[in-house]
């Protein structure tokens, strides 16, 4: 069964799909509250430094592995080297199961909030009342599960339609829509009375509160946000034509993802300050403060709807890339057809998401391991352990195992100025592995 591997239709299609993977709940929902919990500007600076050194380099490494092998996350390592290396891909597939299971739960909340916006259920100016609405919605046993199911069904639908007709086409429509919505909403948020305080919070760093926990949070967030460390970019890279410029693509995707994170911070944090909220209020921040802003605006319900639509779109293009990691493996290496793989694996992930959803209510206090409930455990194991470890091993693989071939892969298909290839080599060989290991161990309090 030697089928020719499907390719992206155009370079723009690929960049939008990869940016679609990167830009997601991680930027718009997670980044603002992580920055809020970690002191704002200082977190932003550390985050950007990590993104533009380690992040961009690991992304290029993943693109190279993918295009060189034209294989899924596990198969790529098997084809290029074998031995124990495919375990890196196996970790990635495991991380994909975990991440998508809780990601889809949160994405489900955004779908439900689109409906709440339209019906006027969010047109309440009192943030405390909005807090109650959010709390009682997510802690409910059944309705969040219905939206989790709907979101997984949408994700499955895009993935089973294929790389070109599904993923690329959806990204080409959804990503421009996302950028347009974001601009409209930011203009409104920063012009709120008191909103500039939030801007100052994000843009003026105070390093006195920075700890190693801050740095390790920034590292996990960088990997999560750029979709790195689990083979999503290996998989997307495997559908790339040989002529494409890989460093340029990695640069664009990294830039777009960081821009959206900063913009989302500028969208959410001014609203937090305008209402005298605590910026370290955590995961509820986005779902509680923004509706309070919208409620005070002319056509507020409409803007609230637009915002949650924006979140849902961003989440969908990311979820698609996570499911694709798993599906590509079963299609390439297990001989299962794409439609069956998407439906069956998507359903398994839906089931795995159920305890995460219940962790907001009936299972909130059920400690599974290390004092964490199911949701927090999935998030911790995947984002704080598997992704950085995956990134570390991917760097070592490119830097030491296939370095010669990797350089050719880039240079032969027009790419990079020699001095940059040297810098990239230095990072994947030494800087990234050492820095990731150090930050991980420090963050875990090992020394
Ligand atoms: N990058 C996505 C986000 O920021 C999440 C994601 C993680 C997607 C890992 C793919 C792989 O929301
Ligand atoms: Na992101």
Q: Is 95 in the pocket of ligand 1 (CB under 6 A)?
A: no
* 403 compared with 39, residue with greater pLDDT: 403
* Residue 345 beta carbon below 6 angstroms from any ligand 1 atom: no
| In the block, residue with structure tokens 């299972």 | 363
Q: Is 161 in the pocket of ligand 1 (CB under 6 A)?
A: no
CA of 227 to the centre of ligand 1 (A): 4
Is the pLDDT assigned to residue 2 strictly greater than 70?
no
> What pTM was estimated for this model as a whole?
0.95
pLDDT at residue 195 tops 80: no
Would you say the CB of residue 373 lies under 6 angstroms from ligand 1? no
Mutate to test the pocket of ligand 1, among 322, 349, 386 (most ligand atoms within 8 A of CB): 322
The mean per-residue pLDDT over the stretch 416-434 comes to 90
Tell me, in angstroms, the distance from the centre of ligand 1 to residue 6's CA: 23
Q: Show the DSSP H helices in 11-85 as ranges.
A: 11-22, 25, 31-37, 41-50, 56-69, 73-80
What's the pLDDT score for residue 1?
45
Q: Which of 190-199, 240-249, 427-436 has the lowest mean pLDDT?
A: 190-199
Kindly state the average pLDDT of the residues 405-423.
80
Nearest atom within ligand 1 for CA of residue 322: 10
Tell whether ligand 1 has an atom less than 6 A from the beta carbon of residue 93.
no
In this prediction, residues 281-297 reach a mean pLDDT of: 82
- Which residue CA neighbors atom 9 of ligand 1 most closely? 227
CB of 264 within 6 A of ligand 1: the answer is no
Instruction: Give me the mean pLDDT over the 168-195 stretch.
Output: 82
Q: With 90 as the cut, is the pLDDT of residue 376 above it?
A: yes
As a whole number, mean pLDDT of residues 17-41 equals 92
Ligand 1 within 6 A of 227 CB? yes
- Supply the pLDDT for residue 411: 81
Atom of ligand 1 nearest to the CA of 315: 12
Question: Average pLDDT, stretch 281-296?
Answer: 83
Each residue's pLDDT tens digit, 10-27 = 888 999 999 999 999 999
> Separation of 223 CA from ligand 2 center, angstroms?
8
Q: What integer is the mean pLDDT of 163-185?
A: 85
Asked whether 382 lines ligand 1 (CB < 6 A), one says: no
Top-confidence residue, 192 or 131? 131
pLDDT band at 427 (very low <50, low <70, confident <90, very high): very high
260 lines ligand 1 (CB under 6 A): no
| Average pLDDT of every residue of the chain | 92
- Report, as an integer, the average pLDDT of 149-171: 93
Is 25 touching ligand 1 by the criterion CB < 6 Å? yes
Please give the pLDDT value at position 3: 65
pLDDT at 65: 98
Is the CB of residue 321 below 6 angstroms from any atom belonging to ligand 1? yes
Q: Is the pLDDT of residue 59 over 90?
A: yes
Of all ligands present, the nearest one to the C-alpha of 17 is 1
Residue 39 phi, psi dihedral angles, 5° rounding: 85, 10
Residue among 232, 315, 326 whose CB has most ligand 1 atoms within 8 A, to mutate? 232
Residue 256 CA to ligand 2 center (angstroms) comes to 9
The alpha carbon of 320 and the centre of ligand 1 are apart by a number of angstroms equal to: 10
Q: What is the mean pLDDT of residues 308-337?
A: 95
Residue 29 Cα to ligand 1 midpoint, Å, equals: 12
Q: pLDDT tens digits, residue range 327-336?
A: 999 999 999 9
Output the residue whose Cα is nearest ligand 1's atom 11. Answer: 227
Mean pLDDT of 94-122: 96
Residue closest via CA to ligand 1's atom 7 equals: 227
Confidence at 317, pLDDT banded by 50, 70, 90: very high
CA–centroid distance, 129 to ligand 2, in Å, is: 30
Of 281 and 154, the structure prediction assigns the larger pLDDT to 154
Q: How far is the CA of 314 from the centre of ligand 2 (A)?
A: 9
Q: What is the pLDDT of residue 165?
A: 85
From 90-94, 149-153, 288-292, 293-297, the region with the lowest mean pLDDT = 293-297
Residue 415 is predicted with a pLDDT of 59
Question: Does residue 417 register a pLDDT over 80?
Answer: no
Its ipTM equals: 0.98
For ligand 1, whether the C-beta of 22 sits within 6 Å is yes
Question: Does 158 or 167 have the greater pLDDT score?
Answer: 158
Q: Is 224 in the pocket of ligand 1 (CB under 6 A)?
A: yes
């Amino acid at each position: 069964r030697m089928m020719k591997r499907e390719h992206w239709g155009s370079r723009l299609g690929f960049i939008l799909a990869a940016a679609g993977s990167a830009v997601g709940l991680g930027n718009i929902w997670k980044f603002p509250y992580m920055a809020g919990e970690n002191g704002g500007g200082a977190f932003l600076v550390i985050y950007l430094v990590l993104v533009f050194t380690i992040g961009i380099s690991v992304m290029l490494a993943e693109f190279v592995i993918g295009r060189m092998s034209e294989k899924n996350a596990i198969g790529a390592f098997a084809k290029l080297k074998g031995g124990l290396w495919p375990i890196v891909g196996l970790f990635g597939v495991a991380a994909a199961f975990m991440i998508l299971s809780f990601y889809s739960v949160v994405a489900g909340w955004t779908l439900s909030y689109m409906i709440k916006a339209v019906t006027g259920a969010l047109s309440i100016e009192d943030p405390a009342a909005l807090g109650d609405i959010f709390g009682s919605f997510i802690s409910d046993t059944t309705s969040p599960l219905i939206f989790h199911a709907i979101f997984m069904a949408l994700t499955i639908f895009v993935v089973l339609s294929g790389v070109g007709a599904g993923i690329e086409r959806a990204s080409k429509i959804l990503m421009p829509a996302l950028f347009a919505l974001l601009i409209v909403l930011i203009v409104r948020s920063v012009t709120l009375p008191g909103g500039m305080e939030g801007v100052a919070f994000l843009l003026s760093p105070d390093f006195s509160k920075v700890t190693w926990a801050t740095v390790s949070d920034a590292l996990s967030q960088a990997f999560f946000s750029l979709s790195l460390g689990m083979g999503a970019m290996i998989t997307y890279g495997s559908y790339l034509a040989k002529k494409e410029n890989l460093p340029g693509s990695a640069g664009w995707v990294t830039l777009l993802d960081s821009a959206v994170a900063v913009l989302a911070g500028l969208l959410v944090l001014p609203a937090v300050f305008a209402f005298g909220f605590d910026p370290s209020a955590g995961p509820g921040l986005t779902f509680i403060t923004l509706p309070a802003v919208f409620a005070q605006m002319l056509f507020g319900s409409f803007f609230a709807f637009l915002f949650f639509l924006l979140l849902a779109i961003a989440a969908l293009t990311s979820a698609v890339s996570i499911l694709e990691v798993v599906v590509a493996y079963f299609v390439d290496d297990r001989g299962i057809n794409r439609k069956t793989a998407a439906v069956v694996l998507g359903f398994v992930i839906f089931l795995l998401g159920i305890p995460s959803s219940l962790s907001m209510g009936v299972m909130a206090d059920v400690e599974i391991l290390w004092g964490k409930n199911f949701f927090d455990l999935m998030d911790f194991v995947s984002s704080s352990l598997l992704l950085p470890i995956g990134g570390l091993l991917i760097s070592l693989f490119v830097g030491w195992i296939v370095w010669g071939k990797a350089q050719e892969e880039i240079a032969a298909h027009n790419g990079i100025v020699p001095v940059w290839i040297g810098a990239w080599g230095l990072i994947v060989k030494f800087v990234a592995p050492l820095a990731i290991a150090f930050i991980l161990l420090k963050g875990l309090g090992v020394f």
